[in-house]
Amino acid sequence: MKILNTSPSADGFYMPAEFSQHYGCILIWPHRRDSWQNGAYAARRAFARLIELISSSEKVIVCARYEDYDEARRLLPDRVRVVEMSSDDSWARDVAPTFVTNGSELRGIDWGFNAWGGLYDGLYFPWDKDNKMARKLCDLLEKDCYDCRSFILEGGSIHTDGEGTLLTTEECLLGRGRNPGMSKQGIEQKLCSTLGVSKVIWLRRGIYNDETNGHIDNICTFTSPGEVVLAWTDDKNDPQYKISKECLDILEGSTDAKGRRIRVHKLPLPKPVHITDDECEGLDNMDGEPTRTPGERLAASYVNFYIANKAVIVPQFGDENDSRAVDILSGLFPTREVVGIYARDILIGGGNIHCITQQIPEFEK
Ligand code: KQY
């Protein structure tokens, strides 16, 4: 594996859309006791169900710590590859490489990772094991790796359409915890030169109370070139209404890199989801302090789905909108089966299905 210091875009590489063909998917077996309640017992079963579904249409690699390897191996299908790798937590979207291709070769990008805000407003310390994962995964997959560690970025904060357009949020990328020395224009140039895009659509904010500082992957994503789904509520008393309306106005006033107007499909949100006393009780303290407060609103959204080769896997919360979300997505992904899985146990960790997965694009023509 070579470490590269050139620019992916200048080398002819770009980030394909998630809805294009995958070689496989990377996940990290959950273990952190202040993220996952009751020693991650329920979270592990939710991960296993997700992995079973994804692995029916693409290869899956699961990274597990030394002490969790046997259990992961026992709970996961034989067709899944389990490899020992240390990590601080389990958010493959944010710590695995972002893959770029030129159509005949695949390379990884190793961004800097600082646990969603470093010492300013990050979610845990230290994060050095997570920060090493992208490079280790490139090594494992025998892919050359771009060294972009001086730029802090998580995979959950970007979406591309594979045709030159990138979606992100100002709340996250312009926040003080990531790259405080860089201007919006400088960040945009960095996105273009690393991900091979020519147009960045900036939404203002992400889902209300999202501890990632408003990752795009929880509020809006491409379903095909020129089309997106946007997390939506009609409840004007919900603080989410203003946020989603602002996103809608920006998207409807935008064109993509190919000059198409963006078509927005509203994906209803579940009713607000709050963590219970019992759930908080199941979480260990971090540095002597609780990581969550009973009654805290969690950032539940159906937009946090994963697009596998033959399935779209959508979080479900036991809400009346669960089936509506599946129906809307079924209409938008006619060649894939849209499957819901109960994901409250993942949500308690602070993210959802998309956040715990990272696709590896297919790269051979
Ligand atoms: O949503 C994500 N991409 C990560 C969430 C991190 C939560 C840590 N508690």
How many domains, the chain?
1
Give the number of the atom of ligand 1 that is nearest the alpha carbon of residue 155.
3
Domain of residue 36, residue span: 3-361
Q: How many Å lie between the centroid of ligand 1 and the Cα of residue 258?
A: 32
Residue whose C-alpha is closest to residue 153's, from 181, 189, 190: 190
Residues of the chain with pLDDT under 70: 364-365
Q: What is the CATH number of the domain that holds 190?
A: 3.75.10.10
Give the C-alpha separation, 104 to 25, whole Å: 19
Tallying the residues shown for the chain, one arrives at 365
Give the C-alpha separation, 318 to 214, whole Å: 24
Which protein residue's CA is at the shortest distance from atom 7 of ligand 1? 350
Digit-coded pLDDT (tens) for 289-307: 999 999 999 999 999 999 9
355 annotated active-site: yes
Give the C-alpha separation, 359 to 22, whole Å: 7
Which residues partner with 198 through β-bridges?
none
Which protein residue's CA is at the shortest distance from atom 8 of ligand 1? 350
Q: How many CB atoms lie within 10 A of CB 281?
A: 11
Provide the whole-model pTM. 0.98
Give the C-alpha separation, 220 to 31, whole Å: 28
Digit-coded pLDDT (tens) for 163-219: 999 999 999 999 999 999 999 999 999 999 999 999 999 999 999 999 999 999 999
Count CA within 13 A, CB hemisphere, residue 85: 30
